[in-house]
Amino acid sequence: GAVNSLRIHTGLTVDFRMVKPLKKPAASKDKSSIQTTSKRKNSTRKLQPPSRWKTDYTVIKRLRKLRNAPVDVVGCERLADPKASKTVFEWQCLVAALLSSQTRDQANAEAMAALQVHGNTVESIAKTAEAKLAKLIVKVGFPNVKAKNLKAAARICRENHGGRIPQTLEGLLALPGIGPKMAHLTMHAAFNRQQGICV
């Protein structure tokens, strides 16, 4: 028979009978398209939103009402200690973002908890052996690589930034193991500055 539902890894059951079949979208007559100018070709083109975004958004809202996702509770932007000093809080935001790559939110939260017990500060991490760090964060993906990057980032922050994390995208991107997604996430979580979208 037809498959009417799917149970995904979070335990949420998606019932496909709730979702109405999509009709082929009609050509958009919306005149409010955005005008953009390409600097390279100096030409103007119209950008339209995806044709089915309203339908998809409605389905997503309906499914999200059923249950919270792990990211709502243990997303990496929520793992820094809010009672810590500003400097330590910012560092922990960076650490949570660095560890989050290729890792489930729950596993990242467990690794962050282990680091908190150990001492999750720039000074503490800079002094800790890579092998010890790798054991503390063993639940995340690629713990050995991340332990190496974590220790190197701590040393750079200590020696080049007065014990703080860089406060610019360029500075964050210069740290080992930090790509654009993590840099944007850190800017928002640590400094409440939204300078891009984390994708």
Tens-place pLDDT, residues 116-159: 999 999 999 999 999 999 999 999 999 999 999 999 999 999 99
24 is catalytic: no
Tens-place pLDDT, residues 19-33: 444 444 444 444 444
Is residue 36 within a helix (H) or strand (E), and if so which, with residue range?
A: strand 34-37
Q: Is the dihedral of CA 24, 30, 36, 41 positive or negative?
A: positive
**Which one of the listed residues 23, 31, 39, 181 is annotated catalytic?**
181
